[in-house]
């Protein structure tokens, strides 16, 4: 083989994906790289690294959707380049979103909205949805306390064994978390211990409709009835938010007789994961409020720098 043939062969090999010089070195992990990398080489490196991940199809621990029809992938490809929070630019995407809010609100028996549009939003997952529901609870409680001329510096939230997002909420928004612990023979919050934890500084009670650790439903109706009696005895009115991350898209179809949603008057908001039993791709969450009064307007911002008045 002459020198020219060797040179041509080397060039051909270096032009191939696995023969490229850049694939022979470990990708930068601490510094921004000095040189660009071919897109096919970058894809191959990342693709091969992902073999070290677990097999998502075998993930039975987090209740996430692990298979999606090819049409789901096609729809995601259609929207991958849309910054669709710009609802003025992408009005049909916004309209589809609002239709979904209406459908979910109807599934959970929200009262018929006066203007035809239910109150809610999509989120990146149920953790974000919980944060928004929790903020609305705190704001409503604070308004009531201020109207009564009472201090608002010691809010608390009563719940059973919750997912970590509620611990984050309590810390981020300076709320005392009164978590009713599991104990032998009782793996969720019961009415008696819930009432013992409630007082006038309780911004709300959060039952988990599908407890993270056990899968048990923390049935909201007995808790709701206990709060009714508590109000009759003390005059203290306490709202409920249902964390239905796992059960929100399951119970309506397999256990429709369980009363857990907006059929209970104290339930002011519900959050759920669309990417769990809702069969949506990751990540998809929803939070729905009972009505406009349940969502303090201080939490809604209107911006006009994207071309129109957009609520966010």
pLDDT in tens, 43-102: 988 999 999 998 888 887 777 888 889 999 999 999 999 887 788 888 899 999 999 999
pLDDT of residue 15: 60
Instruction: Report the chain's mean pLDDT, rounded to a whole number.
Output: 90
> Are the beta carbons of 47 and 18 closer than 8 angstroms?
no
Decide if pLDDT at 307 tops 70: no
Identify the pLDDT of residue 289: 99
Rounded CA-CA distance 160/232 in Å is 23
> pLDDT digits over 231-264, tens only?
999 999 999 999 999 999 999 999 999 999 999 9
Predicted confidence at residue 32, as pLDDT, reads 83
Please give the backbone phi and psi of residue 28, each rounded to the nearest 5 degrees, phi first: -60, 140
* Whole-angstrom distance, CA of residue 125 vs CA of residue 273: 6
pLDDT at 51: 93
Percent of the chain's residues with pLDDT above 90: 66
Neighbours of 83 (CB within 10 A): 9
Beta bridge partners of 204: 157
Give the per-residue pLDDT at 301. Answer: 84
> Residue for token digits 């991940």?
53
H-state helical runs in 50-163: 70-79, 91-107, 126-147
- CA–CA distance, 219 with 279 (Å, rounded to integer): 23
Domains in the chain: ranges and CATH: 3-53 (4.10.280.50), 91-311 (3.40.640.10)
Instruction: Name the pTM for this structure.
Output: 0.91
Closest to 288 (Cα-Cα) out of 159, 168, 135, 121: 121
Q: Residue 193 has what pLDDT?
A: 98
Over range 293-308, report the average pLDDT. 84
Hey, how many other C-beta atoms are within 10 angstroms of the C-beta on 284?
21
């Amino acid at each position: 083989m002459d020198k020219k043939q060797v040179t041509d062969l080397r060039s051909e090999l270096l032009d191939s994906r696995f023969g490229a010089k850049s694939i022979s070195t470990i990708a930068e992990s601490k510094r921004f790289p000095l040189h660009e990398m071919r897109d096919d080489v970058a894809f191959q490196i990342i693709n091969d690294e992902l073999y070290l991940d677990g097999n998502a199809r075998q993930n039975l621990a987090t209740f996430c959707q692990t298979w999606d029809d090819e049409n789901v992938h096609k729809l995601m490809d259609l929207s991958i380049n849309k910054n669709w929070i710009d609802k003025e630019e992408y009005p049909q995407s916004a309209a589809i979103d609002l239709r979904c809010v209406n459908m979910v609100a109807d599934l959970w028996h929200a009262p018929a909205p006066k203007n035809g549009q239910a109150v809610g939003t999509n989120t990146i997952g149920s953790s974000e949805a919980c944060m928004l529901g929790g903020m609305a609870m705190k704001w409503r409680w604070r308004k009531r306390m201020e109207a009564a001329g009472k201090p608002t510096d010691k809010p608390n939230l009563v719940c059973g064994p919750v997912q970590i997002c509620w611990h984050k909420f309590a810390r981020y928004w300076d709320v005392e978390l009164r978590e009713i612990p599991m104990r032998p023979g009782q793996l969720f919050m019961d009415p008696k211990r819930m009432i013992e934890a409630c007082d006038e500084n309780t911004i709300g009670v959060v039952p988990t409709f599908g407890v993270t650790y056990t899968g048990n439903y923390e049935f909201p109706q007995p808790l709701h009835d206990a709060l009714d009696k508590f109000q009759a005895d003390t005059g203290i009115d306490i709202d409920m938010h249902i964390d239905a991350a796992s059960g929100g898209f399951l119970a309506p179809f397999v256990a429709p007789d369980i009363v857990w949603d907006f059929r209970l008057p104290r339930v002011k908001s519900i959050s759920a994961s669309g990417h769990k039993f809702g069969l949506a791709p990751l990540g998809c969450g929803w939070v729905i409020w009972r009505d406009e009064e349940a969502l303090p307007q201080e939490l809604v911002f209107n911006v006009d720098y994207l071309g129109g008045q957009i609520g966010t």
